Amino acid sequence: TQDADIFPENACNSKQSKAKESKAKESKALPPLTPPGESGGAQGNPDPDIPGYAYNRNTHNLECLMLNLKKLYITDREEIRKILKLSDYGRLGNYVWKIFNGTNWNKVNSKGGYIISVLAREKRSTGS
């Protein structure tokens, strides 16, 4: 597993207190959103296309990815769908986290288009 202290680009708030950190570790087994087919599916899952593995908080940070998209005012469902797919639904260590933390967003007009473009270029260059 990857630790937010070692990889700050994967954490929403890398300055969590030790109490919050231990509480977060306790609740890691519980996904932040309800995967499809469990407890109604529609409760916390706005998109039925999100695969179940994306809710595993040991390998993905889907919740933080969605918060970052909301914070950047990316609301177009098609752009969100493409970003989710290209980022492997917020997989920890994915290039999307470097984009969020290393971009001067004041200079970017089409934020969703920019993220899609950079992720697609990175995917082509690495072949993954």
**Residue 18 included in any domain:** yes
pLDDT at 3: 47
More confident residue, 84 or 26: 84
Tell me the mean pLDDT in the region 29-50: 50
**Residue 3 included in any domain:** no
Instruction: Write out the residue range of the structural domain in which residue 91 sits.
Output: 8-126
Split at pLDDT 50, 70, 90, the class of 126 is confident
pLDDT at 95: 96
Q: What is the pLDDT of residues 90-105, one digit of tens each?
A: 999 999 999 999 999 9
Query: DSSP secondary structure string, the chain?
Result: ---TTT-GGG-S-TT--HHHHHHHHHGGGS-SSPPTTSTTSTTT-S-TTS-GGGG-TTTB-HHHHHHHHHHTT---HHHHHHHHHHTTTTBTT-HHHHHHHH--GGG-S-HHHHHHHHHHHHHHHHT-
Split at pLDDT 50, 70, 90, the class of 112 is very high
> How many domains is the chain partitioned into structurally?
1
**Residue 112 included in any domain:** yes
Judge whether residue 76 has pLDDT over 60: yes
**Residue 31 included in any domain:** yes
Q: Which segment, 15-29, 45-59, 64-78, 114-128, is predicted with the most confidence on average?
A: 64-78
Q: Which residue type occupies 50?
A: I
Q: Which residue has the tokens 């109490």?
A: 19
**Residue 116 included in any domain:** yes
| pTM of the predicted model as reported, rounded to 2 decimal places | 0.66
Q: What is the pLDDT of residues 43-71, one digit of tens each?
A: 444 556 899 999 999 999 999 999 999 99
Q: What is the pLDDT of residues 2-21, one digit of tens each?
A: 444 445 455 565 444 444 44
Between CA 37 and CA 22 the distance in angstroms is: 30
What are phi and psi for residue 121, nearest 5 degrees? Answer: -65, -45
Between CA 90 and CA 97 the distance in angstroms is: 8
**Residue 1 included in any domain:** no
**Residue 2 included in any domain:** no
Q: Would you tell me how many other CB atoms lie within 10 Å of the CB of residue 56?
A: 16
**Residue 56 included in any domain:** yes
Q: Which residue has the tokens 């570790």?
A: 25
